[in-house]
Structure 1
Amino acid sequence: MQVKPLIAALLIGIAALAGCRQEHTPQAAQQPAAPSQTPPPAVAGDDAVRLNLPALPIIRNAVFSLTPTFNGQRDPQIMSQMCGLARGELNQGQVNTFLAQRSIDPAKLPKTGSPLSLLVNGDKAGQITGCAAYLATSVMLAPDANEYMKSVAVTEKTPAGKAKPGAKPEAKPTTVQQLDTKALSMTLPVKLAVARANADIFALIASQLQRQPGLTLGEYRNQAMQLFTRLAPVYLQRIKVQMPSGVRFDVVRLDGGALVFRGSDGSFFDFDGTNLRLTQSDVLWFGEGKLMGQEYSLPVAYFDSSVQQLLVPAKP
């Protein structure tokens, strides 16, 4: 079976894990080390009015902004190539062949300024960040039904009651869509690993952002982008660490943009078409503002200092 583009992008580098049995354990020892760089101090000032806001949507939006798009759209085939370069699974010659098949001359692509630049400029750090952001956001979007369906040729015979008198039932070839169980069995473990990696790295980023009280929403978003960019290599490795082994999956729902399944290891992946909820052993691991069972709030400088005086009751 030909591996479909999104599945290929998710599975690149995972094959090396064959035989590696690492179960998901939520202990603190499993979290990656904090980045060595010390984030800059808060700049919004102590006179701003702060509100405690959940860190998860801020980090999620930051990662979405790092995701490469092409003509405003996500492109699984291009991202499969970028992830291949990022992980050293593909060389430049193979990517050039891919571009040529799309009638694109790699020699004419600019090294910067084009969405396709990362496919030809040798910027390994940029490729890693783009791949990591693409994979991280892949579980927070409605799945493409084409990734789980396959076209099957069948022959339908005209019912005997509708055939003309004396004529033989006519056989008409047609193509129908059927669930591709093999593709689904390959993808579900990766979906779970990506969601778990999101919880790990997003929680780490949230804990670092909490050390910078009083930033504005925009400043927290920029800090989240910088942290995710620096942690992108750790994130890709985290997907490998979180790959389940020997786990049986049961699909609960796969329709209308929703993907819901449970694993025999106590995991429950629930994307309802809009939002992702990942539960691990009855603990909310990702979703509804929580990460790894914890609520991470950020004291955001939400209103400027002029609002402060309006909060004080006027003197009689």
Structure 2
Amino acid sequence: MKKKIFLFLGGILPWVLAGCDASNTSTNSMTMASLPLVQNTIASLAPVFGGSRNDIIMEQVCALAQGQKTQEQFEQFFTNKGIALQKLAEQDAGFALLADNSLVKKQVACMAHLTSAAFLQTVKATDDKATLTPQLSQKLQVMVTNAEFFSLISERIEQAPATTIVRHKQEIIRQATAMAPLYFAIMAKNAPHNLQYTVTQLQGNRLAFSSSNGYFFALQNNIATLQLLNINWYGEGELLGKRHFIQVQQPLS
């Protein structure tokens, strides 16, 4: 099923909440929280097909990326569906990814696709417990994984000297590409087991719930936050309870 989505992962405003760093005025740079830039850059790597997100296709990409399917099995899936990847690749960047034999590109695509899952409101008030629990488990697992993975990337880019937003983005993509397989390992480590969930809000594009191991997840207008025992685990510019910063040369472009 194809659905158009528009992700606003934290927005632009938090980039400048830190304001200008007086110690850097001589170099015409400013200090900004790294989280919005990291999450928006990685989100931009998630592929779309015909302009829309397609979870069914990405299940196949992720199966190949994580070693659950071979390249031959991957290609056979589309052959069986009568989908000519090479022909579609000429018209669409998403299908060009599918036709490309690069495993690294598919690992990055899967990683970026998975990171966005927590930011989509797929839960409905009419869902019964059997349907609801797996969805809440998935959102919690993705958000905890995002927090750890984005923290690793942030720790690396905050050590870089002042440079442009464009170059920071390039470094984020380089780091995310190199560490994409690690994302899957972190996600497996954070698989929820026997957790209980309490939904405190579920209406329209709003979702909030707590888990029996101390997490509190909130989602509104595709902006998600996660707290662990009242500590910002993801959101408000913080990751794992810590705010990471980058030095950005002006102008911001």
TM range (shorter): 0.7 to 0.9
If the length of structure 1 is used for normalisation, what is the TM-score? 0.66
Contact map agreement 2:49 2:92 (CA 8 A) in 1: no
Q: Does 1:125 align with 2:118?
A: no
Which of 226, 234, 244 is the equivalent residue of 2:174?
226
Shift of 1:92: 4.1
Q: Distance in 2 between matches of 1:87 and 1:112?
A: 27
Task: Tell me the C-alpha RMSD between the 2 structures.
Answer: 2.7
3-state DSSP of counterpart to 1:244:
coil
For residue 60 of structure 2, the aligned residue among 81, 86, 97 is: 81
Which stretch of structure 1 is more off in the superposition, 236-245 or 247-256? 247-256
Whether 2:28 is the aligned partner of 1:54: answer no
Secondary structure in 2 matching 1:89? coil
Pick the structure with more helix per residue. Answer: 2
Kindly provide the CA deviation profile for residues 215-269 of structure 1, in whole angstroms up to 9, marking residues without a partner as x: 1111111111111111110011101111122211112222212221110111011
1:136 CA displacement: 0.7
2:116 to 122, 137, 145: 137
Is residue 2:246 matched to residue 1:298?
Answer: yes
Q: Alignment partner of 1:246: what SS?
A: coil
User: What's 2:231 paired with?
Assistant: 283
Q: 1:172 corresponds to which residue?
A: none
Q: Give the direction of change, closer, same or farther, for the CA distance of 1:48–1:70 in structure 2 (3 Å limit).
A: farther
Instruction: Measure the CA separation in 2 of the matches of 1:94 and 1:303.
Output: 48
When normalised by structure 2's length, the TM-score is 0.82
**What are structure 1's unaligned runs of at least 5 residues?**
7-45, 150-177, 305-316
SS in 1 for 2:234: strand
User: What does residue 247 of structure 1 align with?
Assistant: 195
Cα distance, 1:195–1:273 mapped onto 2, change above 3 Å: same
Q: Please list, as runs of the form range in 1=range in 2, the aligned pairs for 1:24-103 lying within 5 A after superposition.
A: 48-100=27-79, 102-103=81-82
- Secondary structure at the counterpart of residue 47 of structure 2: coil
Give 3-state SS (helix, strand or coil) of 1:182's partner.
helix
- Give the letter for the 2:209 counterpart: F
Distance 1:112 1:91 in 2: 25
Query: In the TM superposition, what is the alpha-carbon distance from 1:48 to its structure 2 partner?
Result: 3.9
**CA offsets 1:89-126 (integer angstroms, 9 cap, x no match):** 23445444543465412464559974123334332111
The one-letter code sitting in structure 1 at the alignment partner of 2:31 is: N
Residue identity opposite 2:221 in structure 1:
G
Relative to structure 1, the CA distance from residue 112 to residue 207 in structure 2 (aligned partners, 3 Å threshold; closer, same or farther) is farther
| Bigger Rg, structure 1 or 2 | 1
Q: In the alignment, residue 121 of structure 2 is paired with which amino acid?
A: P
Q: Which moved more, 1:183-192 or 1:237-246?
A: 183-192
Give the one of 142, 151, 165 matched to 1:203: 151
How far apart, in 2, do the equivalents of 1:224 and 1:121 lie? 23
Matches of 2:93 and 2:251 in 1, distance apart?
37
User: Does 179-188 or 80-89 show the bigger shift?
Assistant: 179-188
SS in 1 for 2:104: helix
2:53 partner letter = R
CA offset at residue 276 of structure 1? 1.1
Shift of 1:64: 1.1
Distance 2:75 2:248 in 1: 46
CA distance 1:107–1:225, shift in 2 (3 Å): closer
Aligned residues: 232
Partner residue, 1:19: none
The Cα of 1:194 is off from its aligned counterpart by 1.0
Instruction: Determine helix, strand or coil for the equivalent of 1:250.
Output: strand
> In percent, how many aligned pairs have the same letter?
27
Partners of 1:216 and 1:254 in 2: CA distance? 40
